[in-house]
């Protein structure tokens, strides 16, 4: 538990995915500020929800788009594999 100078309290968590991979059990996704869904911080692919929303997509369509992104999720992020290509978008640009 951490306390700020003004007395607010909160929790801080550290996700050590590179040093201790948990990819096989990970079910996390990230919705970026510009409406993209990412299934991994290291992913080079994203699914565009913003355009679908602007085109009037219903809940079922949004669910299918989100599920499709999760089905593409790899068993591991591959940072230790030959040919690893990191995302062009830094974590700070996607909220990570």
Domain boundaries, the chain: 16-77+85-94
CA distance 32 to 43: 13
> pTM of the entire structure?
0.62
- Report pLDDT for 64: 93
The residue that leads in pLDDT, 34 or 5, is 34
Q: Is the Cβ–Cβ distance between 38 and 29 less than 8 Å?
A: yes
pLDDT, tens digit (0-9, with 9 covering 90-100), for 23-52: 777 777 888 888 999 887 777 788 999 999
- Report pLDDT for 41: 76
């Amino acid at each position: 538990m951490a306390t700020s100078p003004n007395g607010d309290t909160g929790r801080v968590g550290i996700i050590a995915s590179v040093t201790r991979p948990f990819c096989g059990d990970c079910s996390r996704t990230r919705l970026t500020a510009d409406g993209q869904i990412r299934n991994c911080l290291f992913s080079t692919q994203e699914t565009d929800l913003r355009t679908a929303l602007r085109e009037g997509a219903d809940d079922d369509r949004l669910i299918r788009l989100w599920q499709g992104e999760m089905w593409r999720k790899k068993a591991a992020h591959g940072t230790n594999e030959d040919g690893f290509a990191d995302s062009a978008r830094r974590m700070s640009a996607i909220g990570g």
